Structure 1
């Protein structure tokens, strides 16, 4: 593993175990037993490291249009993969708005990606409707449901903290359960049978 890759791995471990404010580039360098100058040769500052980690996370989590789930069962399989990615980069969603306040470039990247991500969610919902597994009612739109999915995915960690809960693997599972819960009222009999739900 190259020094550049080790910096990212060490930073991710420190960010996840504490927070990004406490893990400076000096802390990262010390944990690696390298000089701060060596670290700064590869990354200008902590914000650049966070942006690279964010790009890694997005790359792992984002599906191309042609690979989007077409059934609720496929969605559940994707959510299980997403669970592992959320846990691997959990610092990001614990500190999302704070990170934006420190780095406008990161915020711009995330907003652009999120708009695309929202469209992918909408496309998936349209796939479920087309396949007869989802049926919206009471005038609700695909965008409305997509927004609830996005809010749950990106802010459940923060919500859990307001209830005094620790962020652990159970928190990630709860996030996935709540995303499934968003779809539950709109599942058709076909989807319920496919998922073997009561």
Structure 2
């Protein structure tokens, strides 16, 4: 996308855009910083950092995270190229990734401590699998043609990522947690 198109989408002149940014690289860096801030706010507001994390909060958090992923979907679509083109952006992204994975790992450890999660493989692998599903859900929808236009993405398509997350988690959930997940799924439907 050209800076002229970005300026047109914003309803400003290209000169005004260049007053604030020296080019697309600066715009992308600012958008990444905004995305990182939004995910941090989402994590704090969702109560994920509290000791009271449970499957219901986890599911709701994944749905809200899906909304953020949609908002910043171009990062998922262009991530590899963006990171290869800008080492500073890559460093910031990787630092944010490490931080988020540490948060996800802590949340998984809480679920293990509560007896809801009984990992049959290393917890780091399970956490990575869930992260891969949630981080790449919209890229998957675009690849399959289900999200080629924003208006085609329904709340049901966003929520469908939970079905895939459940498929990953199910063998690792306690019987009570498995039933709770299914009950939450029915209630949301």
Name the TM tier (shorter chain).
Answer: 0.7 to 0.9
1:193 aligns with 2:179: yes
Q: Count how many residue pairs are aligned between Structure 1 and Structure 2.
A: 174
**TM-score (structure 2 length as normaliser):** 0.79
- Partner of residue 113, structure 2: 130
Matches of 1:175 and 1:57, distance apart in 2: 20
8 Å contact from structure 1 (residues 152, 175) kept in 2 = yes
- Cα deviation for residue 39 of structure 1 reads 0.8
Aligned match for 1:144, one of 125, 129, 142 = 125
Cα gap change, 1:163 to 1:134, in 2 (>3 Å) = same
- Cα deviation for residue 164 of structure 1 reads 4.8
Deviations 1:123-169 (A, max 9, x none): 111100111111112xx111010111122222344444554544452
8 Å contact from structure 2 (residues 4, 14) kept in 1 = yes
Matches of 2:96 and 2:161, distance apart in 1: 20
- Partner of residue 170, structure 2: 184
Cα gap change, 1:135 to 1:32, in 2 (>3 Å) = closer
Unaligned runs of at least 5 residues, structure 2 = none
Aligned match for 2:136, one of 141, 148, 155 = 155
- Partner of residue 50, structure 1: 28
Aligned match for 1:39, one of 6, 11, 17 = 17
Unaligned runs of at least 5 residues, structure 1 = 1-22
- Cα deviation for residue 56 of structure 1 reads 1.7
Q: Secondary structure at the match of 1:95?
A: helix
After TM superposition, the structure 1 = structure 2 runs for residues 56-67 of structure 1, keeping only pairs within 5 Å, are 56-62=34-40, 63-64=43-44, 66-67=49-50
**TM-score (structure 1 length as normaliser):** 0.76
Between 61-70 and 24-33, the greater mean CA deviation after superposition: 61-70
Q: Secondary structure at the match of 1:66?
A: coil
- Cα deviation for residue 80 of structure 1 reads 1.7
1:27 aligns with 2:5: yes
- Cα deviation for residue 111 of structure 1 reads 0.7
